[in-house]
Structure 1
């Protein structure tokens, strides 16, 4: 399985990378939505994207809408991992095509649980 971690914080990308590699994912990282789209266009098509909302260049919401506009990426699972906690923002992201929503700060177990609920983790990894 492949995960693309999209966050403008290098520290947050490192934390998420440790969590998802710990349950068997190959990872790539991007500092904003535009960089993430470029990685995907260059051939790294992930099974799941862990997406921050507030980033420079291209925010996470715009990234989600761009991924959903591309039929080649319709099977990519999108999980928002963000400080945006307003109900309206959560609804907006889910309506745009995000599958899950995790509010920072989070525990590693919360990320693993969401990935498991999405069917992205082999049972022996949990």
Structure 2
């Protein structure tokens, strides 16, 4: 990821409503959320949400797809992955043992990394 693209993504997420919107969309992957339902979940009017979604979309963080008369919004997880990798690419000066707790906490989010806790 180019530094300017990372800056755009960080800038888009550096506002409470947009960050909350993106987190909700990540939570609802892979199905996405219809625009009206997303506005309700975020707690803002649809026209306000539209402005925020436009900024997130320009940064590549969200995608909208028309289904009949509604638009389903989804988080662009590949861009989230790129931003995360951009942050940790040179983690700990090439000493993986220092970054192990960070890598472990990230891997626990993936289906492969989930543990069976009983």
The bucket for the TM-score relative to the shorter chain is under 0.3
Larger radius of gyration: 2
Q: TM-score, normalised by structure 1?
A: 0.26
More helix by share: 2
